[in-house]
Amino acid sequence: MKMSLNIIRYFVPKTKCHFSWKNPIIQGTIQYTTASGSSDVFNNMTDWETLSKKKKISKAMKAYLERAREHDDFMKKQQFEYNIGKRHLANMMGENPETFTQKDVDRAIEYLFPSGIYDPAARPLMKPPEEVFPARKAAEFDEAGRPHHFLFYTGKPNFFKLLYDAVENIQQANNFEDRVIRKKATPDPNGKLDLGGSVWLTKEQLEMALVESITDLEYDNFKVVMERLVSLPYSYRHKEFIEKHRKPLASQKFALEIPKPSYDDEGKAYITTYECLRKKARGDVTIKSPGTGKITINGKDLSYFEDTQSREQVLFPLIFTGMQDKVDVICNIEGGGPSGQSGAIRWGIAWSLRSFVEKDMLEKMQVAGLLTRDHRRRERKKPGQPGARKKPTWKKR
């Protein structure tokens, strides 16, 4: 009702009346207009604005509300079905439905629907609907159609807000620096940000976090702005903001869980590494500690490999750590070719040597890259192209 009054206030012309308000006729009319009229009076008006004013909600808003309602219903239904499904699954597996976690669900699905499909993304699975279906944004504008976010009309409000915040932080850091210099103080050396063990969020992760799609150019811009922020001396004051957009890397794995050697019949300490893989070669490597430098591959000497390169690769970790005369190596491999097999053995030896070597040597091995699993595989040939990357001759027209 108030709104209708406002509208009328705008659309009824304000006249500079020579008549006084006390004029009964005008008074009457003004009284009439300012009084809160009943709805049937308005219903009788046929002015197009007044007709349209009945639709308080804009078309976009209406459509949005419709969609939101549908989505909510859908999600509720999915959640309901998921919960029921989970209970059914628990009953099938004979476990307690109350304490059936997501891990148990995964295990159960793998057991009940064994899949020979190679790609893990294509196998059957059951996950809570929030993980499976993409997130949607909440209401972005109110009923009048006015957006809540001040950057709504950029099209990607969350992303640009992020950049806006970053720039604001940069300016704040600069101001702080100016103040510090004026006071002739020095920055705190302990506060330096250590960004060695993390990377910026990838484009996909950023898209997921912001629930918006981003172009490559915009993502590069984002990275540039964040790098700028990090390079400032007082960036540690905005540590949380930066940490929020960095993903930590799980790379210290080589130092954790170093296995202890077991002892065989002769009292020699030995370690076996299974699952040594590279390309298509698969094998296992055993290292025996007080040894003479004997290397046995599939029962044969190092002459199993006929080319020098493979032999050098097998010897690489031993010579790097200086243990070539102190350990015996026994390996079994199959599959792949000389390069794949020697690469697998190299990784296997390095991984086993972790237990026989000191900590600083361990770090040196990690920096040398000997402890990284090489999970590269041959890229498949795509249809319409002669090879994996090679394309048919490019014709300009």
Question: What is the residue type of 335?
Answer: G
Q: Edge-to-edge, what's the strand order for the sheet holding 328-334? A: 262-263, 269-278, 281-288, 328-334, 295-297
Residue 273, strand partner residues: 285
Nearest approach, Cβ of residue 393 and other proteins (Å): 20
Q: Residue 46 or 303: which CB sits closer to other proteins?
A: 303
Q: Which residues contact 44 (CB under 8 A, 6 or more apart)?
A: none
Q: Residue 44 or 252: which CB sits closer to other proteins?
A: 252
Q: Residue 156 or 278: which CB sits closer to other proteins?
A: 278
Q: Which residues contact 244 (CB under 8 A, 6 or more apart)?
A: none
4: helix, coil or strand? helix
Question: What is the residue type of 122?
Answer: A
Nearest approach, Cβ of residue 303 and other proteins (Å): 5
Distance in angstroms (rounded) separating the CA atoms of residues 39 and 387: 74
Residues that bind other proteins (CB under 8 A): 81-82, 85, 88-89, 109, 113, 119-127, 131-132, 134, 196-197, 199, 202, 204-205, 208, 249-252, 293, 295, 301-303, 307-309, 311-313, 315-316, 319-320, 324-325, 339, 342-343, 347, 360, 363-364, 366-370, 372-380, 388
Q: By the 8 A CB rule, do 348 and 331 touch? A: yes
Nearest approach, Cβ of residue 162 and other proteins (Å): 19
Distance in angstroms (rounded) separating the CA atoms of residues 129 and 77: 10
Q: Residue 291 or 343: which CB sits closer to other proteins?
A: 343
Q: Which residues contact 379 (CB under 8 A, 6 or more apart)?
A: 388, 389
328: helix, coil or strand? strand
Nearest approach, Cβ of residue 377 and other proteins (Å): 4
Q: Residue 102 or 171: which CB sits closer to other proteins?
A: 102
Q: Residue 238 or 346: which CB sits closer to other proteins?
A: 346
Nearest approach, Cβ of residue 375 and other proteins (Å): 6
User: How many other C-beta atoms are found inside a 10 Å radius of the C-beta of residue 274?
Assistant: 10
Distance in angstroms (rounded) separating the CA atoms of residues 237 and 180: 13
Distance in angstroms (rounded) separating the CA atoms of residues 212 and 209: 8
Nearest approach, Cβ of residue 361 and other proteins (Å): 11
Nearest approach, Cβ of residue 363 and other proteins (Å): 4
Q: Residue 26 or 195: which CB sits closer to other proteins?
A: 195
Nearest approach, Cβ of residue 138 and other proteins (Å): 19
Q: By the 8 A CB rule, do 298 and 282 touch? A: no
Q: Residue 266 or 360: which CB sits closer to other proteins?
A: 360
Sign, CA dihedral 102-108-113-115, equals positive
